[in-house]
Chains A and B, each alone.
Chain A
Amino acid sequence: NAGVTQTPKFRILKIGQSMTLQCTQDMNHNYMYWYRQDPGMGLKLIYYSVGAGITDKGEVPNGYNVSRSTTEDFPLRLELAAPSQTSVYFCASTTGTSGKRYYNEQFFGPGTRLTVL
């Protein structure tokens, strides 16, 4: 299994541009999450999904959108990039099903480093 993969690894955007951060997992996990990580601030939850077609806001959703059309994919959309969105973005997933070996563990992707200038 590749686990959780994210593309791109790095991206520089101009203010006002839009982009989609891709996240894919091959573990058949129901639950997927998007976090942003800023220096000294830990990880903040942006959006999450409990299954295909179901998404909900996390702690810091403003300026972002998500969709979940398949179990595997959970893209994060930035419509009008702003300097405040400069951050490292992590996607994570978990099975959410008891009895599975990795129940309760979130698996993280390698991250996307985004700079908005």
Chain B
Amino acid sequence: AQSVTQLDSQVPVFEEAPVELRCNYSSSVSVYLFWYVQYPNQGLQLLLKYLSGSTLVKGINGFEAEFNKSQTSFHLRKPSVHISDTAEYFCAVRTSGAGSYQLTFGKGTKLSVIP
């Protein structure tokens, strides 16, 4: 079984400052990794995903994440945040083998961008 730990439940950051949202996972098999964003009162939207290949993955809205297998991490970064980035961010993992394509989610990190 796999699990996901998001190390910060809340992250306040000033507008135009950089941000990093941390995610660690545990799994005994190969995994695929995802970051989803949830804006207030909305469903989840995929930001980016790591399936294989380059460990640096670029997503929508200027976000990127780096897969680090040795540290079992998949941290999300943005060099300069905007007010509109205020949302909750979820890291998720699933095993790369065939199956039901189930995702295991972290508990989420609330990003608050301060003007």
Chain A contacts to B: CB under 8 angstroms: 4, 31, 33, 35, 40-45, 48, 50, 56, 58, 90, 92, 94, 96, 104-106, 108-111
A72 CB, min distance to chain B CBs, angstroms: 18
Q: Are B107 and A106 in contact (CB under 8 A)?
A: no
Q: Are B102 and A104 in contact (CB under 8 A)?
A: no
Q: Are A48 and B107 in contact (CB under 8 A)?
A: no
The A/B interface has a contact count, at CB < 8 Å, of 54
Most buried by B among A40, A43, A90: A43
B100 at the interface (CB under 8 A from A): yes
A109-B43 contact, Cβ under 8 Å, with A31-B101, A48-B100:
yes
A104-B105 contact, Cβ under 8 Å, with A42-B90, A43-B90, A110-B43:
no
Most buried by A among B36, B90, B103: B103
Q: Are B107 and A42 in contact (CB under 8 A)?
A: yes
**Residues of B within 8 Å of A, CB-based: how many?**
23
Q: Are A43 and B100 in contact (CB under 8 A)?
A: no
Q: How far is the CA of A110 from the CA of B41 in the complex (A)?
A: 8
Q: Which among A4, A43, A96, A105 is the interface contact of B46 at CB below 8 angstroms?
A: A105
B51 at the interface (CB under 8 A from A): yes
Offer 30 A-B interface pairs, CB within 8 angstroms, sorted by A. Answer: A31-B101, A33-B102, A35-B105, A40-B9, A40-B108, A41-B107, A42-B6, A43-B44, A43-B90, A43-B103, A43-B105, A44-B105, A48-B102, A56-B100, A92-B44, A94-B101, A104-B32, A104-B49, A104-B51, A105-B34, A105-B49, A106-B44, A106-B46, A106-B101, A108-B36, A108-B43, A109-B43, A110-B42, A110-B43, A111-B43
B30 at the interface (CB under 8 A from A): no
A22 CB, min distance to chain B CBs, angstroms: 15
Given contacts A42-B107, A106-B101, 13 further A-B contacts (CB under 8 A): A35-B105, A43-B90, A43-B103, A43-B105, A45-B102, A56-B100, A58-B102, A90-B43, A104-B49, A105-B49, A106-B103, A111-B41, A111-B42
